Amino acid sequence: MPDENPLIEVRDLVKHFGSVIALSGVSMKVGRSEVLCLLGDNGAGKSTLIKTLSGVHRLTSGAFLVEGQPITFASPRDALDAGIATVYQDLAMIPLMSVTRNFFMGREPTRGFGPFRFVDFDHCDAVTRDEMRKIGIDIRDPHQAVGTLSGGERQCVAIARAVYFGAKVLILDEPTSALGVAQTSMVLKYIHQVRSKGLGVIFITHNVRHAYAVGDRFTVLNRGKTLGTFTKSEIQIDSLQNLMAGGKELQTLSHELGGTV
């Protein structure tokens, strides 16, 4: 990873909500062709951190650099314009709208000019079908409602959309938390594919196994602070699990139950 110029870097990031201290000194970075996994227990500050990176929240203090330049986002639109796209698990799609409409979501290209301007739906359908085929999802009818796709397919549509519209950094907030095994592996495979296109990926998850399957580096958050960042060669999956708050409790529980949790 080109350490001199990561795609995104934050140093000593602090975020308060009134008297609540959500982040109290978080540092992390992600480079091109890299999957950074952000791990931490409930309330660790993962969502707050990515909302700060994606322009939803303003930081209280600390440094935020995009490709080496200090930056302040006034809105999520600013972050998107800077190439930072966020895929939230629930808000990714409008279930009753077609796959194509969800893919373009107001960014449909138009043809003609002046009062004769119209959306080129055939082109949109073709692009959607093509982009989905590239990732191994065969959309028979691009007009079918997105709600009829599986959870994993929907996540892939949301990721494909961000990539197609030029994201440099993709932030994924728990993309696999509601998915079964096959669906999870579909999404993880796609994350791996996106990384090889040169994007930086920030993958937030509770699941250490999912993180370990695709991650290059792991940043562990605990109560608003960075506990550490490790490359895959530096840390084993069990130690990573233990580092997350609750890891010890889980081990004890597993011991008490006489198996693995």
Ligand X SMILES: Nc1ncnc2c1ncn2[C@@H]1O[C@H](COP(=O)(O)OP(=O)(O)OP(=O)(O)O)[C@@H](O)[C@H]1O
Residues making contact with Mg ion (CB under 5 A): 47
Dist. CA 46–CA 177, nearest whole Å:
14
Dist. CA 6–CA 34, nearest whole Å:
10
Dist. CA 215–CA 205, nearest whole Å:
11
Least distance from ligand X to the Cβ atom of residue 249, Å: 16
Residues 178 to 217 in contact with ligand X, rule: CB under 6 A: none
Pick 47 or 155: Cβ nearer Mg ion: 47
Q: Is 141 helix (H, G, I), strand (E, B) or coil?
A: coil
Number of residues that bind ligand X (CB under 6 A): 11
Residues 16 to 35 in contact with ligand X, rule: CB under 6 A: 17, 20, 22
Alpha-carbon dihedral 80, 83, 88, 89, rounded to 10 degrees = 140
Sign of CA dihedral 67, 71, 72, 73: negative
If one asks whether residue 48 binds ligand X (CB under 6 A), the answer comes out as yes
Question: Letter for the amino acid at 86?
Answer: T
Least distance from Mg ion to the Cβ atom of residue 39, Å: 12
Least distance from Mg ion to the Cβ atom of residue 46, Å: 5
Pick 30 or 137: Cβ nearer ligand X: 30
If one asks whether residue 46 binds ligand X (CB under 6 A), the answer comes out as yes
Residues making contact with ligand X (CB under 6 A) = 17, 20, 22, 40, 42-48
